[in-house]
């Protein structure tokens, strides 16, 4: 039996993870947590709504932690798993983006490993498996381009929350859905890929693939590119991470080649500045990615609350990044301070209600 601690059990990833765990005879939930939503219909011996996730993990002693919390709030659980050498199935990309080197150092100390749940990173992980780093030319992250792909800046000025939440290919929680509309999600994923696979930013490319069938590719030095294909369904990467290296069966339909379209395109960095801002933050390093993430969380929450326009999300983030010094954090305490300061800075950039 593999004992799974599921954090963020009531969310989009959490619900799909429960489906995978219930269907697999060798997986069981040993703990489940949410932020504020009740866990009444979740069957686990330990349950916690709100509160300190590391206390729950200490009690549960899981074999694997599936971190499906949304946002920086997932940081302590990510670091707990890495420090304790417990497998970390990581959906909560924000924690790795913000903690960066601190997370990698915790992983080295603890001897843990990260099994990516983000579909692109699961794809890259699978394409890279068993190959030496020197064979790898570059990584190619794919993205759908979100609901506003092909629009001009002018056409984005009045978009509503409802329009931004209408993602063309994935059904996800509200925060990541807005991130997909601004391309901040692809930016977070760029930084996530850098830390997961140790590849410099100039060797990580982003291309658009509107139907989300190609989940990402790895280019190798001989000119070959390996891709991972499948329908956009998070149960596949969740199952892969939870059952690794077994690759258990799932209820997913096989690809039907009579109805597939595989077009590719380039992201429009001027209309969607969040991707370029993320790349800049990643290249600056230190706590710049933490600042990018914190300001984005504040701006997205304000957009969802109807307080901020869609285009202003990137302005809030750009302003916060331009003020923050981005100096590396020596420990988690310092990182928490940087995150809090970036949030205060971003909040000052919001229009007065």
* β-bridge partners, 28: 3
Cβ proximity to ligand NAD, 92 vs 126, nearer residue: 92
Q: Are 252 and 235 in contact (CB under 8 A)?
A: yes
In the list Mg ion, ligand NAD, none, the entry touching 73 (Cβ below 5 to 8 angstroms by class) is ligand NAD
Among 201, 209, 161, which Cα is nearest to 181's?
161
CB of 108 to ligand NAD, least distance (A): 23
Taking the C-alpha atoms of residue 143 and residue 266, their distance in angstroms, rounded to an integer, is 10
User: Is 192 one of the binding residues for Mg ion (CB under 5 A)?
Assistant: no
Q: Considering only residues 6, 56, 69, 314, which one is a binding residue for ligand NAD as defined by CB under 6 A? A: 69
What is the DSSP pairing of strand 204-208 with strand 114-116?
Answer: unpaired
Count of residues interacting with Mg ion (CB under 5 A): 3
Q: Considering only residues 4, 5, 6, 12, which one is a binding residue for ligand NAD as defined by CB under 6 A? A: 12
Q: Considering only residues 24, 66, 84, 92, which one is a binding residue for ligand NAD as defined by CB under 6 A? A: 92
In the list ligand NAD, Mg ion, none, the entry touching 68 (Cβ below 5 to 8 angstroms by class) is ligand NAD
User: Is 90 one of the binding residues for ligand NAD (CB under 6 A)?
Assistant: no
CB of 300 to Mg ion, least distance (A): 16
User: Is 88 one of the binding residues for ligand NAD (CB under 6 A)?
Assistant: no
Cα distances (Å, whole numbers) of residue 340 to 28, 246, 298: 36, 40, 11
Cα distances (Å, whole numbers) of residue 65 to 26, 99, 183, 284, 305: 15, 17, 28, 30, 31
User: Is 9 one of the binding residues for ligand NAD (CB under 6 A)?
Assistant: yes
Cβ proximity to Mg ion, 185 vs 243, nearer residue: 185
Q: Considering only residues 118, 179, 233, 297, which one is a binding residue for Mg ion as defined by CB under 5 A? A: 118
Taking the C-alpha atoms of residue 99 and residue 55, their distance in angstroms, rounded to an integer, is 20
Omega before 219 cis (within 30°)?
no
Instruction: Choose one: 22-30, 67-75, 99-107, 287-295; the region binding ligand NAD (CB under 6 A).
Output: 67-75
In the list Mg ion, ligand NAD, none, the entry touching 211 (Cβ below 5 to 8 angstroms by class) is none
Taking the C-alpha atoms of residue 92 and residue 67, their distance in angstroms, rounded to an integer, is 6
Position closest to Mg ion via CB: 118
Over the window 16 to 55, marking each residue x when it contacts ligand NAD by CB under 6 A and - when it does not, the resulting string is -----------------xxx-x---------------x--
Site for ligand NAD in 108-137 (CB under 6 A): 118
**What sign has the CA pseudo-torsion 121, 338, 77, 68?**
negative
In the list ligand NAD, Mg ion, none, the entry touching 317 (Cβ below 5 to 8 angstroms by class) is none
- List alpha helices for the chain, DSSP H: 12-23, 53-60, 75-83, 93-99, 101-110, 119-128, 153-156, 161-164, 174-182, 184-197, 235-243, 273-284, 288-304, 312-323, 332-348
CB of 135 to ligand NAD, least distance (A): 27
Burial class (CB in 10 A: 0-12, 13-18, 19+), 264: exposed
CB of 236 to Mg ion, least distance (A): 12
Q: Which residues of the chain form contacts with ligand NAD (CB under 6 A)?
A: 7-14, 33-35, 37, 53, 68-70, 73, 91-94, 118, 170, 172-173, 175-176, 234
Q: Which residues of the chain form contacts with Mg ion (CB under 5 A)?
A: 118-120
């Amino acid at each position: 039996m593999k004992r799974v601690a599921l954090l963020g059990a009531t969310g989009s990833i959490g619900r799909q993870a429960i489906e995978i765990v219930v269907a697999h005879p060798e997986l069981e939930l040993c703990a489940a947590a949410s932020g504020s939503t009740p866990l009444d219909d979740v069957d686990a011996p330990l349950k916690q709504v709100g509160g300190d996730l590391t206390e729950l993990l200490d009690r549960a002693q899981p074999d694997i932690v599936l971190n499906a919390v949304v946002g920086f709030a997932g940081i302590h659980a990510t670091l707990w798993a890495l420090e304790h050498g417990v497998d970390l199935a990581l959906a909560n990309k924000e924690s790795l983006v913000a903690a960066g080197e601190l997370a990698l150092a915790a992983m080295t100390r603890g001897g843990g490993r990260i099994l990516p749940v983000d579909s692109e990173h699961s794809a890259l992980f699978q394409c890279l498996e068993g190959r030496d780093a020197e064979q790898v030319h570059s990584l190619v992250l794919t993205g759908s381009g979100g609901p506003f792909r092909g629009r001009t800046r002018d056409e984005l000025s009045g978009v509503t929350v409802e329009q931004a939440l209408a993602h063309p290919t994935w059904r996800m929680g509200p925060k990541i859905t807005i991130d997909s509309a601004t391309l901040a999600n692809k930016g977070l994923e760029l930084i996530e890929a850098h830390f997961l696979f140790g590849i410099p930013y100039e060797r990580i490319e982003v291309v658009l693939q509107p139907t989300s069938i190609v989940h990402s590719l790895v280019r190798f030095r001989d000119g070959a590119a390996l891709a991972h294909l499948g329908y956009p369904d998070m149960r596949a990467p969740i199952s892969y991470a939870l059952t690794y290296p077994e690759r258990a069966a799932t209820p997913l339909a096989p690809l039907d080649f009579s109805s597939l379209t595989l077009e590719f395109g380039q992201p429009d960095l001027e209309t969607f500045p969040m991707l370029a801002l993320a790349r800049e933050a990643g290249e600056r390093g230190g706590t710049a990615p933490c600042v990018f993430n914190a300001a984005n969380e504040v701006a997205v929450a304000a957009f969802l609350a109807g307080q901020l326009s869609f285009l202003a999300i990137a302005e809030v983030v750009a302003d916060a990044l331009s003020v923050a010094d981005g100096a590396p954090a020596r420990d988690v305490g310092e990182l928490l301070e940087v995150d809090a300061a970036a949030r205060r800075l971003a909040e000052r950039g919001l229009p007065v209600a």
